[in-house]
Structure 1
């Protein structure tokens, strides 16, 4: 049985971690399956939006601690597989929706934070638990938490390892919506479908822009906006959008 599954529904691809007996923990084989799955949907022109989720009662509890040998050279493990997972999600031109069905711990939290939009089931929980095993945050967790929560709150979550609820995650701004568990999958598909039905280039440029602006000066951000606006305005989607607006009808994006 594959540890990572890909299913497709129209222009939406769903990537599912499928090790429920291990709470979707990430060993080397699973990480490489996940990288391969993400790269596959990233390169598929028929896919316009992606959902990332888990099977069973966990979304992902991070590193499989039973794979002790992977931690003997942790720098190589992180650089060689965890970093590419986060980077692939960030670099993907398509929007990625996290559907957090259960516990998201350690690197599992990193997977959630790497996604562009985040939905959580009411029973879902989150923890930056690296400190509990004397490790430091990876998979982009430090980058996201400091920017999204500020230093003090991010440091507290990282060092104290407190588990927080889906509602708390929403209050923190780490997830967009909290839903009953039986509505999560359908809501994630609906949201991804709305994104897939939108103007693909404009959304891709918006994602690239929003990912970059935290590292740019104000002048640099303005220059990027100008470049991207020129690219978007030259695309047929912009002509269709203007025409649809004038004709008071839904746009038919390319």
Structure 2
């Protein structure tokens, strides 16, 4: 793995763990962070990664956008925030959504602002008992971005999305789990281990099918029933020709566990 300034990337088997590594800044986001994350994802996929874990260093998962210049080349937020979102935030969130492998987010601590978007962009979201989600935008006169509006409204509904966005209040992760935003809440010191174990399970699975499941569920959120039936048919046709499906059939006949290769 390459050396990065603002993140780390660690491969173990077919799982690559990407860690936001600005603990002194509560892992706040800058354009350079997105550049490094995108490069690390591309490198991981090229090296054969079949699942990704996204987490943070220190006591925060991610505090959102870095609004303060650092005197070392980062000038803070530009005057036109829309340009920043279009150039850096949205391309990365689209990249995550289109990945052919699953993503598990490990919330080692609170997530705020655009950090909430990164947290909830995981296919499986694991958080610690002491964590929380905070749509802090309204507190500084802004609106949710990086997909937070869609992610929360689609998962928890209009009322919960408006409550979080309008009040700017913290939502403990236990409450977020009950609302359907977080998949699992575990002890704070078990978050990364739990996430990596889930990622390892996914990485050992039928990768082509898992990638299509990701896209199929995303598509279903904007399709009617008939369109979803067609999407399922088309994806099932693809899966039916994969080596992993052939292996599963052979394993069933031989009464053994299938050994998927992701092909």
TM-score range, shorter chain: over 0.9
Match of 1:57 in 2: 59
Return the alpha-carbon distance in structure 2 between the equivalents of residues 239 and 45 of structure 1: 25
Q: Equivalent of 2:178, from 171, 175, 183?
A: 171
The more displaced of 134-143 and 29-38 is 29-38
1:246 to partner: Cα distance: 2.1
Question: For residues 132 and 44 of structure 1, what CA distance do their matches in structure 2 show?
Answer: 41
Aligned to 2:227: 220
- Counterpart-to-counterpart distance in 2, 1:186 and 1:156: 32
**Residue 14 of structure 2 corresponds to which residue in structure 1?**
11
Contact 2:59 2:109 in 1 (8 A): yes
Q: TM-score, normalised by structure 2?
A: 0.93
The worse-fitting range, judged by mean Cα deviation, of 26-35 and 128-137 is 26-35
Q: Does 1:153 align with 2:156?
A: no
Distance in 1 (alpha carbons) for counterparts of 2:47 and 2:213:
18
> Are residues 1:109 and 2:134 paired?
no
Cα distance in structure 2, aligned partners of 1:159 and 1:51: 30
Equivalent pair of 1:124/1:165 in contact (CA under 8 Å): yes
Alignment-derived partner of residue 202 in structure 1: 209
RMSD in angstroms over aligned alpha carbons? Answer: 1.3
CA distance in 2 between partners of 1:137 and 1:71 (Å): 17
The answer for unaligned runs of 5 or more in structure 2 is 70-74
Distance 1:203 1:45, change over 3 A: farther
Structure 2 counterparts to residues 25-64 of structure 1, below 5 A: 25-41=28-44, 43-44=45-46, 46-64=48-66
Residues matched between the structures, number: 253
Structure with more of its chain in helix, by fraction: 1
TM-score by length of 1: 0.96
Alignment correspondent of 1:232: 239
- Please report how far the alpha carbon of residue 153 of structure 1 lies from its aligned counterpart in structure 2 after TM superposition: 1.2
Offset at residue 45 of structure 1 (A): 5.2
